[in-house]
Amino acid sequence: MRFSHCVVAVTAGIAGSAVLFAGPAIAARFDPSSGSVGGSRLSGPGVAISVAIPAGWHQLPDKSHPQLPQMVYPDTCAAGVTCASALASVLSTSAASAQTAAAAAEQAVIGQAGIQGATITSEGPIQVAGRSGYYVRFGYSQPNGKLQAETVAIETGPASSGMIPTSLIFVTVSDLAGAPPVSVIDEIVGSTQLIAR
């Protein structure tokens, strides 16, 4: 399957976060320009959606991908991404379709070094915040655990020159002790709201 170069470039940020559980520690401070958590919602500059994040998570800006607002679990994790057991992130891009965007994001994640045994468990069209979208739910392994993840792409504007403005949600949960339940993926995706622009 061919993917738009725009989608692949933006999903590199998602792929970088997917190696969250095996990546090096990052000393991060809150940077308001990299995303906002108004109340308990996650969004960011240029992102056409926001999602509710349950209690126990905190923002951990990714200095190498500032366009990718993200939150990690647990909120006691102060040593960077090495102690996180779950991650949620959002971003906006353009793609030929929501299906293309969701599939490209999933491929960017499973194509990373150290990712093994990736399997799509379900995928298909979805309505999110009243908009057409597409989701890919998949599992994969890393040396220190198994993870369940979902990428959801939502069409957030009219097509222009064959490209559709699309927002992506990425949520992954590990099987590490103390991680949130996998059902948090559906909780976060189900909380999606469009942001008036």
CATH number for 69 = 3.40.1000.10
For the record, the structure tokens of 110 come out as 């499973």
pLDDT of 143: 87
Q: For residue 36, is pLDDT > 80?
A: no
pLDDT of 197: 63
pLDDT of 67: 67
**Which neighbouring-strand residues pair with 137?**
122, 150
Confidence grade of residue 76 (pLDDT, cut at 50, 70, 90): confident
Total domain count, the chain: 1
Rounded alpha-carbon distances, angstroms, from residue 66 to 14, 90, 142, 175: 11, 11, 24, 27
Query: Between these two residues, 4 and 166, which has the higher pLDDT value?
Result: 166
Summarize pLDDT for 7-20 with one digit per residue, the tens. 333 334 444 444 33
Its domain, for residue 116, covers 5-194
Q: Would the CA dihedral through 71, 77, 82, 84 be positive or negative?
A: negative
Q: For residue 181, is pLDDT > 60?
A: yes
pLDDT of 125: 98
In 10 A of CB 28, how many CB atoms? 16
Site of tokens 């939150």: 71
Per the prediction, the chain carries an average pLDDT of 80
**Which neighbouring-strand residues pair with 133?**
126, 154
Q: For residue 38, is pLDDT > 60?
A: no
Site of tokens 């919602």: 41
Summarize pLDDT for 114-152 with one digit per residue, the tens. 999 999 999 999 999 999 999 999 999 998 899 999 999
pLDDT of 78: 72
